[in-house]
Structure 1
């Protein structure tokens, strides 16, 4: 595997609407990010990915883009973006933007021109088909947000267009080479401005199964899970390879793909030397226990399943390339509330969860607020829910026979609002996020969980993340943590997630994934304890007694 500039870095995701508001309008902005760059630098962050900041009607929180060459006024201006890139470079930091090119907004000029003349040039920028009342749809695919992927074309009841996400997000027709050229031109325009690269959104969806076909239905709506189509579609690599050659490779840019369903044999094509992307996210723990029926039928992941997901992923990727490892992001619940069994979330368990994912091979990503152990919201009334997928799943749960109270409890665990509440900077009004009215409710626990308090506390989750990052970057151990092998240790042991990082050194990560103590016999004598989420460790000879959710990193 060819070594790359980003391999030894630490990445951080900003959801800009909720990060820091500099002007008191209740919405986070670019100047807010600039003001917090020193905080990120002090944490140890090198790469900063910013979720969409382009002009948008915000039907799907900015993932519906109406202009790829500008900044939405709620976030600032292009001048602010140039300043952010400049200020980041002064601190040896790199800025990534979101690349959202499976679809655009229905308010983008391309779609407006397609609506004006569906048979003209811009009609072919989208998937537009004839439509007759009472006639069968072109296919029975269900959109990610519920309902058919087909919607009548505005102003043309005899036509319909495809949207695999929200109806205000018409899919771009990647089969059209003119569309692809427009994408490449835009990507290179941003890279010319000094951007370090992109996180690529929902990219597998750009390849559709053509001609359209129906798949077995799985709900009473007569529609099918769109994942069936994606498994059947072939040839996405031709598009992705062309994108890589025409853009990223020209700049040695970093690119990380949101890819959920790559096949094991395709991994070298995706992230091997010269692959489509620098890296892809490892979502194995996030998708575990999913169900076609809806959130009400999803299984809650166990510590043993969590461990297995990570070890299987490490084996799958081997030496082909690097995964990007996460606990959470803007589309997932807060990891500490999701992966730690109910009732067991504590200072120690938050730190244990941090260490066992962070020290795996791959690029570690931290999502805003994760470094202080931000948690899920309590169960909130449905009228306070902003997330469109949660609202859809609320209805799905009601349709499945659950009461409104039960449906609220079901969606509360996975509601994307959990990760989108404002960052908790201090214990003052609105958690110090804004002087105005926040666009989304602040988690009520901000008085206990906030940056200001944790910066003063050597025992805090924030201090532990700083230790973790410093350990991974320590010149004595960096080679092993970045490039060393991951070798599971006592893999079948219940509620123990343990593994060697073997390279120049032999480093053992031991995570007790339960409240009860566990005794572990080390494979050889421990030389140094490099990390511990407790003040001390009980080691007698080769015997270690791990306390409630204790994590140790031991040099053997």
Structure 2
């Protein structure tokens, strides 16, 4: 496998994620759809993004909002038709925007034709497409694993007298990647979409496809961790023994034959695995979504669950981001994200969504887009959208939220108010409230009843207002995105962390060598993660006789921006240093 420099366009790109159910509804049924997306493509063109990552629009019973697929080659009727998909894709390409589809192949829906056949009998040709195990001698499930959405990962199938494995909902049976016939089916699905003109794939929990089988074909039990709770089953299935083998085969069979962008969602991925999977010569994918920085404000991190809250220590964030920046430099590639359909709004999580909402949203954008990697913008992030605090569990639609609330309050006896506080902070519906387009009824999202309530602050935070305001978060994102196209140092420059122990300032440089006899270009990014006014001093080992002010979320400061300069609340500065 050889890297193709002419195919590295995704390094210069900025990706915009669309969650179709919540983006724009064209027919008044309260659910976003493909024609609705097509009608808003000029918004994305104005923003300046290069690629759209489209969350699943395939046929699905919608048990997990489309991440349970019943037909990989069909469009869900609530989203539209295949003809409308083709028109959307054509309109994206006409605007110079590529399309990255969601590839969900760790599991399917239990309503997929494969599973409907597989569950009929043990000798059915499709039985081997899924993961089945006999009960233990006492009739109990094969392991004690708990599913990501609560409950056992094992579901009984009466017709065959077996349990099937589902790492998520019981309606999402895991696919058996040990079966070559199943892998061939997956590759055929990928070719189907690539031949239609799709430009790549975001691969859902792709590092879970290789399970940690024992020599006898069994799976290990999960150990007991904090408070008598079991370690989640997914922690045992991530990064299995044949993962790289499977993904290299995918690359050889499919990806090397197309010009694609690929990113693999990889919970619990390590630095070593990040290098292995994204190495351009010997790996398989362009980049990963790793979760280390997303777990820093939870007690125990990803292994023990996201709901136990703790404040973010900026020094932890600096250490995590720096490890990945350093480790993958010239050996792989990073994805850069703070938000997606599974994560709460970053301005509420890491910034100040009150008085300094606009300033802190811009600061977070500067912090992220200044690093090496491909930046991702989740719909509404460019508006500075905030979390929502619905008062009742009945206001939430997400299966993870509902299951967690039931287990926490009914089975574990937790205080409902405490549970709701965790949901308000970390629930996935924070990111899924419908996109606010204007101040009209239902924010211009739909003429009907929205499938999920709108954030009530949409009269103040909406796309029409943001586009019209030259000082808006939207306009700031436009400038950041445009800068990557004209300043290669922001794409290829080496990252170096400054002031690692400062509790409020995140500062780093990006340096790009130009050639023999020419001085390297060096940029400085300084971000204030607080409402205070800490002072920044450029360390003595970073020589600079001055600087050019390239971008900031406040007007340029008076005096020396590099030495003894107080940063304003939630301020961000992007400076080009004079050698």
TM bracket, shorter-chain basis:
over 0.9
Q: Secondary structure at the match of 1:146?
A: coil
Aligned match of 1:409: 421
2:560 is equivalent to residue 540 of structure 1: yes
CA change 1:277–1:342 in 2 (3 A) is same
d(CA) in 2 for partners of 1:498 and 1:291? 27
The answer as to whether partners of 1:142 and 1:223 remain within 8 angstroms in 2 is: yes
CA change 1:149–1:542 in 2 (3 A) is closer
Shift of 1:55: 0.4
d(CA) in 2 for partners of 1:493 and 1:132? 54
Q: Secondary structure at the match of 2:10?
A: coil
Q: 1:40-82 CA deviation, whole Å, 9 max, x = no partner?
A: 0110111001000000000000000000011111111111111
CA change 1:530–1:391 in 2 (3 A) is same
d(CA) in 1 for partners of 2:126 and 2:498? 57
The answer as to whether partners of 1:307 and 1:497 remain within 8 angstroms in 2 is: yes
Aligned match of 2:95: 91
Shift of 1:293: 4.7
Match of 1:57 among 56, 61, 64: 61
d(CA) in 2 for partners of 1:222 and 1:482? 43
Q: Secondary structure at the match of 2:276?
A: helix
Aligned match of 2:279: 272
Aligned match of 1:488: 497
Shift of 1:263: 3.0
2:369 is equivalent to residue 358 of structure 1: yes
Superposition TM-score, scaled by structure 2 size:
0.91
Q: 1:485-505 CA deviation, whole Å, 9 max, x = no partner?
A: 011122222210111111142
Q: Secondary structure at the match of 2:67?
A: coil
Q: 1:257-311 CA deviation, whole Å, 9 max, x = no partner?
A: 0012223223332111142111112422112232655444343323332232212
Shift of 1:231: 5.6
Q: 1:165-184 CA deviation, whole Å, 9 max, x = no partner?
A: 10000111111111000000
2:547 is equivalent to residue 527 of structure 1: yes
Q: 1:122-169 CA deviation, whole Å, 9 max, x = no partner?
A: 11111122347952321111111111110011x427222110110000
Q: 1:467-519 CA deviation, whole Å, 9 max, x = no partner?
A: 11112222xx2x11110001112222221011111114211111111111122
2:477 is equivalent to residue 465 of structure 1: yes
The answer as to whether partners of 2:136 and 2:142 remain within 8 angstroms in 1 is: no
Match of 2:242 among 235, 243, 246: 235
Within 5 Å, give how 1:502-521 maps onto structure 2: 502-503=511-512, 504=514, 505-521=521-537
Aligned match of 1:428: 440
Q: 1:331-367 CA deviation, whole Å, 9 max, x = no partner?
A: 0111111112686652111111111011100000000
CA change 1:131–1:283 in 2 (3 A) is closer
Aligned match of 1:127: 131
d(CA) in 1 for partners of 2:401 and 2:431? 13
Aligned match of 2:357: 346
Match of 1:500 among 509, 513, 519: 509
Aligned match of 2:206: 203
2:196 is equivalent to residue 193 of structure 1: yes
d(CA) in 2 for partners of 1:492 and 1:362? 24
d(CA) in 2 for partners of 1:528 and 1:28? 44
Aligned match of 2:575: 554
The answer as to whether partners of 1:256 and 1:281 remain within 8 angstroms in 2 is: yes
Aligned match of 2:318: 307
2:332 is equivalent to residue 321 of structure 1: yes
The answer as to whether partners of 1:511 and 1:549 remain within 8 angstroms in 2 is: yes
CA change 1:221–1:24 in 2 (3 A) is farther
CA change 1:222–1:356 in 2 (3 A) is closer
Q: After the TM superposition, which of the residue ranges 12-21 and 541-550 deviates more from structure 2?
A: 541-550
2:26 is equivalent to residue 22 of structure 1: yes
Q: Give the aligned length.
A: 552
Q: Secondary structure at the match of 1:527?
A: strand
Superposition TM-score, scaled by structure 1 size:
0.95
Q: Secondary structure at the match of 1:121?
A: coil
Aligned match of 1:246: 253
Match of 1:441 among 433, 453, 460: 453
The answer as to whether partners of 1:296 and 1:397 remain within 8 angstroms in 2 is: no
